């Protein structure tokens, strides 16, 4: 997280990323991901909430395997 904060300016610059392939804009995904990451960097409490949700889901699913489904 600290490294991401130190390089936040690089991530923010990706919010205006543009890439065209055969005249079709393909940079939308990069812009959206950059926007999401910047929002998380600006709100560390949201990061902790998301981590807690993932831990809860992981603990619920830890007893399952592909063969048991």
Q: What's the CATH code of the domain at 43?
A: 1.25.40.90
Q: How many domains does the chain have?
A: 1
Domain that holds residue 56: 2-62
Nearest 5°: phi and psi at 25?
-70, 125
- The count of other CB atoms within 10 Å of the CB of residue 23 is 5
Percent of all residues in the chain with a pLDDT value above 90, rounded to a whole number: 30
Does the residue 69 lie in any domain? no
* Phi-psi map region of 43: left, alpha, beta (phi>0 left; psi -120 to 50 alpha): beta
Query: If pLDDT is split at 50, 70 and 90, which confidence band does 60 have?
Result: confident
The pTM of this model reads 0.65
Q: What is the mean pLDDT of residues 28-57?
A: 90
At residue 67, the pLDDT reads 59
- Look over the chain and give the mean of its residue pLDDT values, rounded to a whole number: 85
Residue 59 in this model has a pLDDT that exceeds 80: yes
**Residue that has been written with the tokens 């063969």 in this structure:** 67
């Amino acid at each position: 997280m600290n490294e991401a904060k130190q390089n936040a300016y690089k991530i923010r610059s990706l919010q205006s990323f543009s890439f065209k392939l055969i005249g079709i804009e393909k940079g939308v995904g990069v812009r959206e991901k950059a926007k999401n990451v910047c929002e998380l960097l600006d709100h560390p409490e949201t990061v902790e909430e998301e981590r807690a949700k993932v831990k809860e889901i992981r603990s619920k699913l830890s007893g399952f395997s592909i063969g048991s489904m």
